[in-house]
A and B are shown apart, each in its own frame.
Chain A
Amino acid sequence: MTTAEVLARPGSPVRRGIRHWIASFVVMTRWELGSLRMLLPLVVAIQIVIGGGFALGVGLLFENIPTRNALYLSTGVAVVTLITVGFVLGPQLVANHKMAGTYDFMWSLPVPRTSQAASWVAVNGVIAIPGMVAALLIADWRYDLPLSLSPSILPAVLLTIVAATMIGYAFAHAIKKPMITQLITQLLIFVILGFAPINFPPENLPGWLADLNLWLPFYHMAVVMRDGLTESLVTRVGRSYLVLTTYTMASVALAAWVVGRRE
């Protein structure tokens, strides 16, 4: 019934305006959630297991984990849970659309493409946030952390999700072959986990690698999240917000260029 409201009759004018956009956003979010359906609880559960598992597992590497390291680890894991959804799961689902042949159909729906992208971000948030919260709770229980929540956690989570989702979105749409997208995103996750100072302080890296990370978005995601979760663990937060915003806008532009072009 909802589809009938949105579907345009032949010859009717193209609908525009903010109300139409919002209606499309709501419908597309329901569409995406509906098409995940059985998968959704499973994916959320896996995210929780991965987040919690990561927080506990890395701790086993240390004989006795110092509080500072534990703080870096657990706030980092919160970031990792958000990044993996945007980078791995998103492209994976787009790849599924491409393989199942529903990809072109999705673009033929009479909704603004920006509302489709926005609903995608919302769905990613629904999937990612429970895992993030679980990871933090488990880490706090295990390591007894001096966490202090501040209101800046809200923009931090939001910007991190949007940035990660849009980067993954741009990848998924820009690269034609789903297999290559998967290979790239999986390698990317490995590189991010190992070589970006998310789960450990930047001084553990060699100087040049730490400098390189200042130009990439991952370290900055960790900085804004740490700013929202702890006191005095990070400085120069403004710069990080700026870098993240730039990356988000660049990926939105890339995604818009890819999905807006005609074949």
Chain B
Amino acid sequence: MTATSDINRTVLPARVLRGPRRWLHAYLMMMRFDLRGLGQWLVIGVIVQTLMGAGAAVMYGFYLGDVPEMVAVFIATGVPALGLIPMGFVMVPNMVGQQRIAGTYDFLWSLPVPRVAAAASTFTVFTSMALPGFVTSLGVAVWYYGIDLQVSWLILPAVLLTALMCASVGFGIAHAIENPVVINFIANMIIFFVLLFSPIIVPMDQFPDWLASVHRALPFYHMAQAIRDGLTTGFVTNVATSYGVLGAWTVAGWAATAWVVGRRD
């Protein structure tokens, strides 16, 4: 460790590279780095995500047995939203956890790229990985339940903001907590509670009041609202609030990440 810092001190003529072109270059390089680092997990991740999305779209119907159109619309618009969560809340923290175990975590931050470019590349990679599953689960649900959706351009900002929010919060958790085992445990618990206790694929009225109030502050209900608003008309009101809450969580994730990666040990 000391040897490395000595080398850095002597070799570098201490001219820090800056500017948008430099940033863009660093961003692209880090993206290649991330893609290569994921390797086969990239493919496995996308396949698993896609299969699970398609499976989930159908299986909620099995649980309910009888699915009226209104319920089907909720399932069809909720399952794709649900599918965005594991990518950000499980895969991102696990990736960081593995970097810590493998000892590459400190190395990554020592690379001569702006830290924001490194973080932005991770967000981009994981958001793109989530998209095939999103589209597949939506397609399967529409076909299986035979419903019509009114897709508007609002779906684009909704999906992007949601995926960004998940990756940001996952990133924040992963950097703020040092023990990979604890991260993994928290990620799994989040998934468990989100899958079972979130008003994502069912209307919030079915929830007890106290749980509904909790969900007004958490991001999961608002993800579903924003995405449903882009896919239907007349189902969602107050979508601006949802965008606001999602934005706030995204910023919180960034703040946690920035605080951790910006500090010196």
Beta-carbon contact of A205 and B62 below 8 Å: yes
Digitize B171-208: 1 where CB-to-A-CB distance is under 8 Å, 0 elsewhere. Answer: 00000000000000000000011011100011000110
Is A69 an interface residue, CB under 8 A from the partner? yes
A183 to B41, CA, bound (A): 11
| B50-73 contacts to A (CB < 8 Å) | 51-52, 55-56, 58-65
Q: Number of contacts between A and B (CB, 8 Å)?
A: 57
Is A21 an interface residue, CB under 8 A from the partner? no
A53 to B191, CA, bound (A): 12
- When distances are taken between beta carbons in the complex, the residues of chain B under 8 Å from A203 are 65
Instruction: Bin the interface of chain B by size.
Output: 20 to 34
Beta-carbon contact of B63 and A201 below 8 Å: no
Q: Which residue of B44, B56, B64, B65 is within 8 Å of A194 (Cβ)?
A: B56
By beta carbon, the residue of chain B nearest A63 is: B206
Q: A195 and B192 in contact (CB under 8 A), knowing A60-B202, A190-B52, A190-B55?
A: no
B254 to chain A, nearest CB (A): 30
Is A38 an interface residue, CB under 8 A from the partner? no
Beta-carbon contact of A194 and B58 below 8 Å: yes
Digitize A204-242: 1 where CB-to-B-CB distance is under 8 Å, 0 elsewhere. Answer: 110000000000000000000000000000000000000
Q: Which residue of A53, A63, A69 is within 8 Å of B197 (Cβ)?
A: A53
Beta-carbon contact of B62 and A54 below 8 Å: no
Beta-carbon contact of B65 and A57 below 8 Å: no
Q: A58 and B62 in contact (CB under 8 A), knowing A190-B55, A194-B55, A194-B56?
A: no
B75 to chain A, nearest CB (A): 9
Q: Which residue of A61, A63, A187, A191 is within 8 Å of B63 (Cβ)?
A: A61
Instruction: Bin the interface of chain A by size.
Output: 20 to 34
Give chain B's interface secondary structure class.
helix
Digitize B235-256: 1 where CB-to-A-CB distance is under 8 Å, 0 elsewhere. Answer: 0000000000000000000000
By beta carbon, the residue of chain B nearest A62 is: B64
Beta-carbon contact of B62 and A60 below 8 Å: no
Q: A200 and B63 in contact (CB under 8 A), knowing A53-B193, A61-B201, A191-B55?
A: yes
Is A78 an interface residue, CB under 8 A from the partner? no
Beta-carbon contact of B196 and A201 below 8 Å: no
Beta-carbon contact of B59 and A193 below 8 Å: yes
With A53-B196, A62-B206, A200-B63 already in contact, 16 other A-B pairs whose C-beta atoms are closer than 8 Å: A53-B193, A57-B196, A60-B196, A60-B197, A60-B202, A61-B63, A61-B206, A63-B206, A183-B44, A183-B48, A187-B48, A194-B56, A194-B59, A195-B59, A195-B62, A200-B62
User: What are some 26 contacts across the A-B interface (CB < 8 A)?
Assistant: A53-B192, A53-B197, A56-B197, A57-B195, A57-B196, A60-B202, A60-B207, A61-B60, A61-B64, A62-B64, A62-B206, A69-B65, A183-B44, A183-B48, A187-B48, A190-B55, A193-B59, A194-B56, A194-B58, A195-B59, A197-B62, A203-B65, A204-B61, A204-B62, A204-B63, A205-B62
Interface residues of B (CB under 8 A from A): 44, 48, 51-52, 55-56, 58-65, 192-193, 195-197, 201-202, 206-207
Q: State the 3 A-B residue pairs at the shortest beta-carbon distance, nearest first.
A: A57-B196, A194-B59, A204-B65
